[in-house]
């Protein structure tokens, strides 16, 4: 079948949504575009059959992934040592996989559209797509990390609920454009989301005012070391970078820090599990006047862990990274296809630790995450004991992606974890965004770029639990239910306010004109001859 003008229009609308979403993410940083970015996609999906809707949704989100994840080109070429063609193929495959979220959105709308009106089907399908596990689970909620009143909804339903509010904000514009194009979209599809957003913003403003007073209080002193060590895979490990981090940590100890946090893989050499304390002492990891939390590779009998070591008065507690980065820390399917190692010989062979150890400091539980784990709502929630942890800590190393948009993207996604769990978040990075975030999501301190820097801040141990900490993303479902009520939508085909729905009126009219369906190329005049009626 030859493509029609309608097909080309749908492709352009889908690509337009993908470009608008990409511009809204950190990097370009045009975050207001996120509130209208789904409008072109909604117009393209209106009335689309299942396979067509899957294709349109996939195209929009694959374009988004290709534009946002372009920062992977440098690590694929340099760190992975992949040829140009192989790196391009890997990046394209990643974009295709990330596009599955859009395929679920489009296909879900087509299936649910048989039972629900378009906005209801869109919201249900969008919320389902937000829970799809992907290699890079960048949530649309990340664009709201700087829009704090809306970000407060994360304490109820996590990042999926914030993303739902943002996506629903496209409905008013989509309704306006559809009505101008002659489509019978009712105005309640526009005012329902506006009313819901208004309520969310009012509640968020109140929560911000309550937490702002607490965030000004004097609390526990924590020191953060921000690293500026470049990544050179061809050079042997150097002690100079570690010594600069250690000098900053010792300075924070002298200034009164009770906990000093250093970046992921701050130690220049792996440490052996059997001789952990001796090797840490040889590298100058103190932990006497203040506890040190330092990232390091740990060699154990099962393999090598990407670990976080809490050193305090001669004792060491170890937590390992459980979500490894494909082609950076391991090669997927290498066990069954060993030849993949030849395509990326520099990729590490890291292992996942057994269990979920509880790391405590002075009797307080800590919620630890390492690097990419910080962008995953449910992973951090589990690591924090579903709200039992009183302080969140994240160690990262963004030297892999220096001079790209990834550090800003990574920081914006991680920042929402503080709001979700209602905890202070302490994040130390190398060549990224080192920061302290309050339970409201407000930045209390930040360091980025070069040179190595030391920050001393006050945080509070918090025990108050949020809805998301207790129930997880179920809060998002409650938000969706509220949206359906606000939209005032009834199932398609059911009379609303005594009026017959448009689809039913058009079907009856076409049957009265000749008992059949007519193509737009073969119109049939109405009985009085005054106008043409098109039955498709």
Residues 350-369 pLDDT 10s: 888 887 788 999 889 999 99
122 & 247 share domain? no
Is residue 68 assigned to a domain?
yes
pLDDT tens-digit profile of 28-65?
889 999 999 999 999 999 988 999 999 999 999 999 99
Residue 272 lies in a domain: yes
Is residue 351 exposed (0-12), middle (13-18) or buried (19+ Cβ within 10 Å)?
A: middle
Phi, psi of 291 (to 5 degrees): -75, 145
Q: Is residue 286 domain-shared with residue 385, that is, in the same domain?
A: yes
One domain, residues 424 and 359: yes
Are 259 and 318 members of one domain?
yes
- Are 40 and 20 in contact by the 8 Å Cβ rule? The answer is yes
Domain of residue 528: give its range. Answer: 502-533
Q: Does the pLDDT at position 466 exceed 50?
A: yes
C-alpha dist (Å) from residue 56 to 9, 11, 12, 50? 11, 7, 10, 10
Round the average pLDDT of the chain to a whole number and report it: 83
Cα 341 to chain center, whole Å?
Answer: 29
Is the pLDDT assigned to residue 513 strictly greater than 60? Answer: no
Together in a domain, 342 and 392: yes
Question: Do 201 and 251 reside in the same domain of the chain?
Answer: no
For residue 355, is it within any domain?
yes
183 and 281 within one domain = no
Rounded to the nearest angstrom, the gap between the alpha carbon of residue 132 and the centroid of all alpha carbons in its chain is 11
**pTM assigned to the model:** 0.85
How many domains does the chain contain in total? 3
In a domain, 350, yes or no: yes
Same domain, 139 and 261: no
Point out the least confidently predicted range of 156-160, 283-287, 387-391, 460-464.
Answer: 283-287
Residues 6+ apart with CB under 8 A from 200: 149, 150, 152, 153, 165
Distance between CA atoms of 460 and 217, rounded to whole angstroms? 8
Residue 397 in 3-state DSSP? strand
Is 492 inside any structural domain? no
Q: Give the pLDDT confidence of 286-344 residue by residue, as tens digits.
A: 777 899 999 999 998 888 999 999 998 878 999 999 988 877 788 877 888 888 777 77
Q: In terms of domains, do 262 and 410 share one?
A: yes
For residues 512 and 410, membership in a common domain is answered with no
pLDDT at 401 over 60: yes
Same domain, 234 and 370: yes
CA distance linking residue 366 with residue 383, whole number of Å: 9
The verdict on 57 and 202 lying in the same domain is: yes
Q: In the structure encoding, which two tokens stand for residue 26, read together? A: 């950190």
């Amino acid at each position: 079948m030859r493509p029609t003008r309608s097909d080309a229009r749908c492709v352009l609308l889908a690509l337009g949504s993908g470009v608008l979403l990409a511009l809204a993410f950190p990097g370009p940083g045009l975050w207001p575009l996120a509130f209208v970015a789904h409008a072109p996609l909604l117009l393209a999906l209106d009335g689309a059959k299942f396979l067509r809707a899957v294709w349109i949704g996939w195209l929009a989100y694959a374009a988004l992934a290709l534009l946002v994840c372009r920062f992977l080109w440098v690590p694929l070429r340099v760190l992975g040592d992949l040829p140009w063609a192989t790196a391009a193929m890997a990046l394209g495959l990643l974009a295709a996989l990330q596009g599955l979220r859009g395929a679920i959105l489009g296909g879900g709308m087509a299936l649910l559209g048989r039972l629900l009106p378009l906005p209801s089907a869109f919201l249900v399908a969008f919320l389902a797509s937000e829970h799809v596990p992907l290699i890079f689970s960048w949530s649309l909620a990340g664009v709201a990390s700087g829009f704090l009143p809306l970000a407060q909804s994360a304490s109820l339903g996590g990042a999926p609920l914030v993303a739902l509010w943002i996506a629903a904000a496209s409905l008013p514009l989509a309704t306006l454009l559809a009505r101008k194009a002659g489509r019978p979209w009712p105005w309640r599809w526009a005012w329902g989301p506006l009313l819901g957003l208004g309520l969310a913003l009012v509640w968020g403003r109140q929560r911000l005012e309550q937490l702002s007073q607490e965030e000004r209080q004097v609390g526990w002193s924590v020191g953060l070391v921000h690293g500026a060590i470049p990544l050179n895979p061809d050079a042997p490990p150097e002690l100079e970078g570690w010594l600069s981090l250690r000098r900053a940590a010792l300075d924070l100890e002298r200034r009164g820090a009770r906990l000093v946090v250093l970046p992921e893989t701050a130690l220049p050499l792996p440490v052996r599990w059997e001789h952990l304390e001796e090797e840490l002492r040889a590298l100058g990891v103190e932990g006497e006047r203040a506890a040190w939390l330092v990232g390091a590779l740990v060699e154990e009998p099962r393999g090598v862990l990407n670990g976080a070591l809490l050193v305090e008065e001669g004792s060491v507690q170890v937590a390992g990274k459980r979500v490894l980065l494909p082609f950076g820390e391991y090669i997927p399917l290498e066990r069954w296809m060993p030849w993949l190692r030849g395509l990326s010989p520099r990729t590490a062979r890291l292992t996942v630790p057994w269990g979920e150890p509880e790391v405590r400091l002075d009797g307080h539980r800590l919620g630890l995450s390492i690097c990419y784990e910080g962008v995953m709502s449910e992973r951090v929630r589990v690591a924090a004991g579903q709200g039992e942890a009183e302080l969140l800590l994240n160690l990262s190393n963004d030297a892999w992606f220096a001079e790209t948009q990834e550090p800003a993207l990574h920081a914006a996604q991680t920042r929402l974890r503080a709001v979700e769990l209602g905890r202070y978040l302490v994040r130390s990075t190398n060549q990224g965004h080192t920061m302290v975030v309050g339970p409201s999501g407000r930045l209390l301190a930040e360091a980025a770029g070069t040179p190595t820097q030391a920050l001393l801040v006050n945080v509070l141990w918090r025990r108050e639990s949020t809805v998301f900490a207790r129930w997880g993303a179920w809060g998002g479902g409650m938000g969706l239910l509220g949206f359906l009520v606000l939209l005032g939508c009834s199932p398609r085909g059911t009379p609303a306010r005594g009026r017959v729905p448009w689809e039913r009126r058009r079907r009856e009219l076409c049957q009265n004109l000749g008992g059949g369906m007519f193509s737009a190329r073969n119109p049939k005049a109405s009985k009085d001859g005054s106008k043409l009626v098109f039955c498709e």
